[in-house]
Structure 1
Amino acid sequence: MEIQPISQSQFQQLPGVRQIISHAHARKYGTIGLENLETFGLSWRSERFDPIVQLSPDKTIAWLGVDQQLIALNLNQGRICVALPLNSNIVQVLTADSFTAVLTELEVVILTKTIQFAIVKDYLISALKLCCRTAMCALNS
């Protein structure tokens, strides 16, 4: 699953419901095809951060994030199950069996399988990055 760059006019030709992340003052545009679902469009402002696409371990949820927008797309139903605006740019999305951690420039957002979430502020970020990295290494081994 890769983001394919497209033009602004190509993005605008996509049906509105397929523009799953859209910014009013976008500088970049792309599409992504997810499993057997139709193509989805994204637009974003950031020159520093590219969109992030991360599958859940069971491959039923695709997490997409760019700039300050995060969505979770249920691949079985083709529906957005989470749409979350954030306070700062997304840097990384980590998934595990029981949670998803979204690291931004200023905070960490942790979402559980039941889509409950907690925002952890600045001073805990270093510790959580280390814990998440350790947890991901343990899951991958």
Structure 2
Amino acid sequence: MTPEPVSAGYTRLTGEHSRIHRRLLETCTAVHLSTVLTGTDGQGAVLSCVYTGRTWHVPADAVLLVTGAVPDDDLAHELERRTAGGGPAVHRIGDCLAYGTIAAAVHSGHLFGRELSVDLPDRTPYARDATSFEPTGPVLRGAPSPPSSTLRRAGT
């Protein structure tokens, strides 16, 4: 059940929608789109259409709520505010940073763990050879390209 007109709509952005929707249709007895839970009683759930408000009862032994496709980063923001003047760094990772797939959250945590003890400099940690291919002398239109000896490295 989802209030959205498609199942797992956010997975359209991740390329997983077709596979997930197909699996839902194969394994579930019913898929309720554009539907919200409006209540429960001792014998099941009361559902309603988000467009018409029409309600109906679905017999059920239990109701499992799966919620939250929005990052809950209030704690991270509060910690960032408290440590703004100094103190331990606060890093948001996984679904706290941006909602995504389980694989993306696991990767985010794994990557953070690998980089936790790495001192990341504010500069590129390797030398880069920047080369300028601008001629050092005058070049006339229609003249052949200057010989390579007149080319120079940037900064020289």
TM-score normalised per structure 2: 0.22
Q: Higher strand fraction: Structure 1 or Structure 2?
A: 1
Q: Higher helix fraction: Structure 1 or Structure 2?
A: 2
Select the structure with the greater relative contact order (CA < 8 A; seq sep ≥ 6).
1
Q: Between Structure 1 and Structure 2, whose CA radius of gyration is higher? A: 2
